[in-house]
Every structure is written in C-alpha cells, then in structure tokens.
C-alpha cells in the first residue's frame, strides 16, 4: 500500500488518458493487452479512461441503437477487472462535448493528405470513406490533448495516432504559444493473446474468451483451440512455441510452464489434458472478475451514475484546457 501511495506522489502531476471503443463485454485479450496495465497505472498517475462512442460511430453510424448496451457492458467490465472509479475517472466521450470542439479546431491544422496516407485509413478506405472516418485520428488527438495528458497507454498499432496527437499539440503551441502538453505513447510490453484460431483474440472473430463466459463455456471454448497441428495424439512430440494454448499457459500457468513445455515436447502430455490444466487456471484467474461482474450487474443505475460522475470530473479538466485553447487563439471574445 505504502508503495502504491509513494508512486502516486512521484507522478502526481502526470496525467494519463486511456481510451477504448465500446465493443461491449470484454475478453482476456483486452485484459492482458490493455486493462492490466491501466489498472496498475491508476495507482501511479492521475488517470482518465474514455469510452469513445463517437469513434465507434465511424463504423456503426447506420445503427447506433446498440451503443447504449455496449457502453454499459464495457463500463461493467472495466470495473470488474479492477479499474477503480475512485482512482480514475471513467467516462463516455460524448458526455464531454469539448472533445468535439477541440477536434474541430485540430481539423483546421492538419492536411487531408496527411490523413489519407495513414495505414489505418488506407486499410479500410474502400469500405469506409466518410469524412468522419478520415478524421478518426484527429478526434483521437483531441481526446488526448483535451486533458493535457502526458502519457497514453496504447498498443504499437496506435503509434502513428499518438505521434499525430503529439504533432498537433506541437503545432498548436508553435502557432498560438505554449498551451498544450505534447503527449507520448506508453508502449509497454504486453503478452500476445491468441484466439482459438491462432489469430489475435477478437470479439468479431468469435475466437475469444469473454469475462462473461461461465466456467463451462470457457472449457468448451478452450476445447476448440488450435494446437500444434503436427501433434495428433498423446505420445506425439509437440512444439509448444507453435501452440496458442501454450501461449495462454505462459500467462495463466506461470508456475507450470516449464513442466508443460517439456512434457509437451516429450509427448507425455496430450493436448486434451493440457487444455484441462489451462481451463482450470484460467477459470481460477477470472473468478474474482466474474464475481464482481455479477455483483455490478445487479445495480445498473450505479454504473450509469459512475459514468455520470466520471464525466463531471473529466469535464472540469476539459473545460479548463479548452478555456486555455480559446484564450491562446484570442477567441475569448467576452471576458
């Protein structure tokens, strides 16, 4: 405890902004890829966690009717996993209108070709060519700079977007005088969580293990996991480094990995038994999260209240920063 406290004092002045699209309920890929890190950071920094529903509109604008449910589910899962609304403001992007205002101002300061060159745009532009989607990284830059965030914990795939936020802050400061913090990415090493089909775990691929699964559903899903395709039966020597189940053991069975590694290689351990061991350890690790989830679901109003409070807290900071932005731009017409 004292250790956590002292860390918070050291970085007290530093602010973290984390963001995630409201994909609905979360899975162990989200947990290991982002949340575990955020949960640690909330003890060390002042932290804001933004559920970016406007970003989700880029792909879902035709039918946003499910957003409410997805925002709710992700908020529940954030707290179930250990994000603490006392330590970190959890809020919905569209509850703090200043995100839209700073996005608009930033949109003046960036050229269209800079945006059309981004790999994230190039990848999807055949199916998604809207003005809003082109501006996705500009809105993301606004999310970050609106809180004068020093650090942004993200995966490497977001590197260019963070660079763009940093560049926009620099540009703003160069044009109008030092106003905004120039943010940096916090790229921590994260374990790769494969899905049942070996590809990156993702809800849309249906290869995932969500928190909301029961122990039995988890067991069933793990049974469908690919293993080393050259190991057909017990006795065949396996190649653990090729096996997604072994990768999960490295995260959820840290004390057994050496043994599993050598028994897989020798053939002594069959895939069915290996999966049983993983199932037991994974269900064990998820038990407290699942219990908390069930508890939270009993009181939906409390979740919406928490998001309301998170927005109020975030808005205080967002309003201050926007005020300094308008001031720097000489756009505070009435004092």
Q: Which of 15, 19, 269, 286 binds ligand TRP (CB under 6 A)?
A: 19
Minimum CB separation of residue 261 from ligand TRP in Å reads 33
Asked if 143 is part of the footprint of ligand TRP (rule: CB under 6 A), the reply reads: yes
Residue 35 binding ligand TRP, by CB under 6 A = no
Instruction: Give the total of residues touching ligand TRP (CB under 6 A).
Output: 14
Is residue 140 close enough to count as binding ligand TRP by CB under 6 A?
Answer: yes
Stretch that binds ligand TRP, among 14-22, 72-80, 84-92, 322-330 (CB under 6 A): 14-22
Q: Is the CB of residue 195 less than 8 Å from the CB of residue 202?
A: yes
| Nearest approach, Cβ of residue 326 and ligand TRP (Å) | 22
Secondary structure of the chain in HEC code, one letter for each residue: CHHHHHHHHHCCCCEEEEEECCCCCCEHHHHHHHHHHHHHHCCCCEEEEEECHHHHHHHHCCCHHHHHHHHHHHHHHHHHHCCCCCCEEEEEHHHCCHHHHHHHHHHHCCCHHHHHCCHHHHHHCCCCCCHHHHCHHHHHHHHHHCCCCCEEECCHHHHHHHHHHHHHHHHHHHHHCCCCCCCEEECCCCCCCECCCCCECCHHHCCCCECCCCHHHHHHHHHCCCCCCCCCCCCCCCCHHHCHHHHHHHHHCCCCHHHHHHHHHHCCCCHHHHHHHHHHHHHHHHHHHHHHHHHHHCCHHHHHHHHHHHHHHHHHHHHHHHHHHHHHCCCCCCC
152 binds ligand TRP (CB under 6 A): yes
If binding is defined by CB under 6 A, does position 52 make contact with ligand TRP?
Answer: yes
Does 80 engage in binding with ligand TRP (CB under 6 A)? no
Closest to ligand TRP by CB, 55 or 317: 55
The least CB distance from residue 155 to ligand TRP, in Å, is 7
Contacts (Cβ under 8 Å, ≥6 apart) of 91: 48, 49, 50, 51, 307, 310, 311, 313, 314
**Residue 98 interacting with ligand TRP (CB under 6 A):** no
For residue 290 the two structure tokens come to: 């699942």
Q: How far is the CB of 144 from ligand TRP (least distance, A)?
A: 5
Measured from the CB of residue 203, what is the shortest distance to ligand TRP in angstroms?
13
Q: Give the residue with the Cβ less far from ligand TRP, 140 or 218.
A: 140
Which of 154, 209, 286, 303 forms a contact with ligand TRP (CB under 6 A)?
154
Of 202, 186, 271, give the one whose Cα is nearest residue 236.
Answer: 271
Is residue 99 involved in binding ligand TRP (CB under 6 A)? no
Which residue's beta carbon is nearest to the bound ligand TRP? 19
State yes or no: residue 158 binds ligand TRP (CB under 6 A): yes
Rule CB under 6 A: say whether 148 interacts with ligand TRP: no
41 binds ligand TRP per the rule CB under 6 A:
no
Should residue 166 be labelled a site residue for ligand TRP when binding is judged by CB under 6 A?
A: no
Q: Given candidates 55, 99, 231, 275, which one binds ligand TRP under the rule CB under 6 A?
A: 55
Q: Is 21 near ligand TRP (CB under 6 A)?
A: yes
Q: How far is the CB of 143 from ligand TRP (least distance, A)?
A: 4
């Amino acid at each position: 405890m004292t250790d956590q406290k002292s860390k918070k004092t050291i970085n007290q002045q530093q602010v973290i902004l984390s963001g995630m699209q409201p994909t609905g309920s979360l899975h162990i890929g989200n947990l290991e890829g982002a949340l575990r890190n955020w949960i640690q950071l909330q003890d060390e920094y002042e932290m804001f966690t933004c559920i970016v529903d406007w970003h989700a509109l880029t792909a879902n604008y035709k039918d946003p009717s499910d957003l409410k449910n997805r925002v709710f589910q992700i908020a529940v899962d954030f707290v179930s996993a250990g994000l603490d609304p006392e330590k970190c403001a959890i809020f919905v992007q569209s509850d703090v209108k200043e995100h839209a205002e700073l996005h608009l101002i930033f949109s003046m300061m960036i050229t269209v070709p800079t945006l059309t060159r981004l790999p994230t745009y190039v990848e999807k532009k055949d199916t998604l060519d809207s003005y809003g989607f082109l501006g996705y990284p500009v809105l993301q830059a606004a999310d970050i700079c609106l809180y004068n965030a020093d650090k942004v914990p993200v995966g490497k795939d977001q590197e260019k977007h963070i660079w763009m936020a940093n560049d926009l802050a620099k540009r703003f400061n160069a044009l109008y005088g030092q106003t905004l913090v120039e943010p940096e990415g916090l790229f921590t090493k994260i374990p790769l969580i494969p899905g049942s089909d070996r590809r990156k775990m993702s809800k849309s691929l249906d290869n995932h293990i969500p928190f909301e699964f029961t122990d039995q559903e988890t067991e069933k899903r793990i049974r469908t996991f690919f293993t080393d395709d050259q190991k057909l039966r017990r006795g065949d020597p396996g190649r653990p480094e090729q096996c997604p189940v072994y990768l999960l053991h490295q995260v959820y069975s840290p004390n057994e990995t050496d043994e599993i590694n050598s028994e897989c290689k020798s053939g002594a351990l069959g895939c069915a038994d290996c999966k049983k061991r993983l199932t037991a350890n994974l269900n064990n690790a998820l038990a407290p999260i699942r219990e908390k989830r069930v508890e939270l679901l009993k009181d939906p109003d409390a979740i919406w209240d928490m998001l309301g409070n998170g927005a109020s807290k975030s808005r205080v900071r967002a309003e201050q920063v926007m005020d300094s932005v308008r001031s720097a731009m000489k756009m505070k017409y009435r004092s």
